[in-house]
Homo-oligomer: A and B are copies of this chain.
Amino acid sequence: MPELLVVGSVALDSVATPFGAVREALGGSATFFSYSASFFTGVRLLATVGEDFPHEHLDLLKDRGVNIASLQISQGRTFRWSGEYGYDLNEAKTLDTQLNVFADFKPILTEEVRRVPYLFLANIDPVLQLDVLHQMAERPRLVALDTMNFWIRGKRDDLLRVLAEVDVVTINDGEARELAGEPNLVRATRAIAAMGPKTVVVKRGEYGALMFSGNTFFMVPAYPLESVYDPTGAGDTFAGGFVGYLASMDRVDAATMRRAVVYGSVMASFAVEDFSLNRLTRLTRDEIGQRYVAFGDLTRVESASG
């Protein structure tokens, strides 16, 4: 099964929602991504943490089979993020961001890592995303990228540069509208595809996900959940299921891409059921398979028999 490389953040998150709160829980874009993708394929995690990073978090990743040989422990403190959500769980309010060891993160990829065939550039500085992409020994079979409003506003030119070189972008709906400067989501999605990525995947929170690829739209609703506790990491968990499934099949044709969007949605639907990675650490392959079937049932329409 082809391996997958992710570069992004490993963090300690403090999160409050109307349903509870956690302090300095395991978080970060590359953490959610790699944990989620590990259910589908082998994943290498390229990131940095500080000397204060709790050892049990490393064990958690190792126990799931995530390859952390490229997870560098640097002098200083781990990246910290804190945020809160109101009853509208679609948008986080960031209270504090401390880059800490991430501020000076300049990874040098080993020869082995440079040959990994699937690459996910998780939400980090687009300059760093492009640097990692350019260190690859040959063009990966698939390069996907995630970003956020912080880079859209602050490093737009760098972001456009890396977007021009990737195959897939995953992005929130509000960020898609902002990146394209276009309120209509359909037009915004087409505009982003014109920036480079052949495939645009828009994450719409409680409204599901949309993929634009090959001039065709594909839509998946969100799974109807009675209790959503914490949406933190849902987008990265989605991306982990999406790219993880593609790497596991080693195919990127249209039908496989559609199934990958459903697997991404399945993984995200579990992630939001508890804080941090708590639900994912209890997750089984059987549950993933069952919910994949349930997603099919959600939209199934049989032909009329008269």
Contacts and interface: CB of A to CB of B under 8 A. Distances in A.
B299 A218 contact: yes
23 contacts: A185-B206, A185-B224, A187-B226, A204-B207, A207-B207, A208-B221, A210-B221, A210-B224, A216-B297, A217-B298, A218-B299, A219-B224, A219-B298, A219-B299, A221-B221, A255-B301, A255-B302, A256-B304, A258-B300, A259-B302, A262-B301, A296-B301, A299-B299
Nearest to A187: B226
Interface of A: 87, 183-187, 204, 206-208, 210, 216-221, 224-228, 249, 255-256, 258-259, 262, 296-302, 304
A258 B301 contact: yes
Nearest to A255: B302
Contacts of A224: 185-186, 210, 217, 219
Contacts of A225: 184, 186
Nearest to A292: B301
Nearest to A228: B184
By secondary structure, the A interface counts as mixed
Copies of this chain, complex-wide, total 2
A87 B183 contact: yes
A142 to B, nearest CB: 17
Contacts of A249: 304
Contacts of A217: 224, 298
A226 B186 contact: yes
A295 to B, nearest CB: 8
Nearest to A245: B304
Contacts of A256: 304
A180 B138 CA distance: 56
A154 to B, nearest CB: 25
